[in-house]
Structure 1
Amino acid sequence: MSISDLYSSGKHLQEIGHFASIVKIAKIDNVITEGEQKLLDRAAKKLNISSDEYEKILKNPEKYLVNPPASYDDRIERLYRLTKMIFADEEVDREEVDILNKIAVALQFPLDNVEKVCDEAIHLVLNDNDLEDFTNAIKRVNLD
C-alpha cells in the first residue's frame, strides 16, 4: 500500500466519521425529516460515502468514531455542517445541542470554550451566515 493509499483511506475514515456525526444529529428525535434527508444526501455525496456505507452508517451511526482533521479550518467547516443539520428540520432541541457540544469536543475545540463556540455556531447558522463568515466568527469566539 502506497503512502497516497494510506492518506486516501485515512481521509475517507474522517469523512465516514463526520457523516456519522451528521446522522447522529439527524436521528436524535428518531425521525429524519425531508430537510434532514436532503442534507444527508448532499453530505454523503460531498464526502464520497458509498450507498452501502450510507445504509450502514444510517443504521448505526454510534459505531463510527469522530476522526477530526488536523486543519483548524477543516474542523470549523465540520462544525458548520453539523450545525446546519440541527436546523434542517427547522427546529432545535436540547438533545441536538448536547450532541453538537460533544462532537465539538471530539473535533478538538477546547472543553472550557466549547459551549460558547457551539452557541455562536448556532447563532451564525440561524442568521444564515456563509462558511467564510462562520469561520471568521468562530475563530474570534474561540480566542476569547
Structure 2
Amino acid sequence: MSFSSLFESGESARNKSHFAMLVTLAYSSGLKPEETTQLLRFKQVLDISDSDYEVILKNPQGYPVTPPNTSDERIQWLHDLFKIVFADNVMDEPEHKLLRKYATALGYTDADAEYLVERSIEIFNGHLNLEDYRHLLNKNR
C-alpha cells in the first residue's frame, strides 16, 4: 500500500467519523427534514459514498470519533456540529449533552469544551460562516 493510499484512507476514516457524529446529533432529538437536508450536504462535502451513507445512517455508533489533527480542523468540526443542531433552529437537551461530549472528544479539555459550547450557543444562529464563527469564538478570550 502506498503512502498516498494510507493518507486517503486516514482522511476517509476521519470524514466517516465526523459524519457519524453529525448523524448521531441529528438522531438525538428525532431526525427532522431540515437535518436530513443538512446531512445530505455534509455527505457531499465529506465525500461520503452512497453505500457508506446508508451504513452510517443505520449505525452511526459503529464509527469511533477520530479527531482532526489541527486546531483549525477541530473548529471546523465544531462549527459543523452546530450547523446540524441548528438546522431546525432548536437545540434540545440531548443535543446539548452530545455537543459537550463531542467537543471533549475532539481534543478540548472539559473546561474548554464547556466554554466553547456555551459561547457557541450564544453566538450561533445557524447561518454564520466559518470565519465569523472562528472570530466570535475567540473574541474576549
Please classify the TM superposition score into its range, dividing by the shorter chain length: over 0.9
Relative to the length of structure 1, the TM-score reads 0.92
Aligned counterpart, 1:41:
40
Aligned counterpart, 1:90:
89
Give the CA deviation at 1:127. 6.9
Q: Which amino acid aligns with 2:84?
A: M
Name the count of aligned residue pairs.
Answer: 141
- 2:31 aligned with 1:32, yes or no? yes
Residue ranges of structure 1 left out of the alignment (5+ in a row): none
The alignment partner of 1:27 has SS state of: helix
Relative to the length of structure 2, the TM-score reads 0.93
Residue ranges of structure 2 left out of the alignment (5+ in a row): none
> What is the alpha-carbon distance in structure 2 between the residues aligned to residue 127 and residue 55 of structure 1?
26
> What is the alpha-carbon distance in structure 2 between the residues aligned to residue 131 and residue 91 of structure 1?
20
CA-based RMSD of the aligned residues comes to 1.4
Name the CA shift for 1:112/1:48 in 2 (closer, same or farther; >3 Å): same
User: Which runs of structure 2 are paired with 1:1-144 in the superposition (5 Å)?
Assistant: 1-29=1-29, 31-126=30-125, 128-140=127-139, 144=141
Q: Structure 1 vs Structure 2: percent identity of aligned residues? A: 35
After superposition, what is the alpha-carbon deviation per residue over 1:61-109, rounded to whole angstroms, capped at 9, x for unaligned? 1111111111100110000010111111221101101001101101111
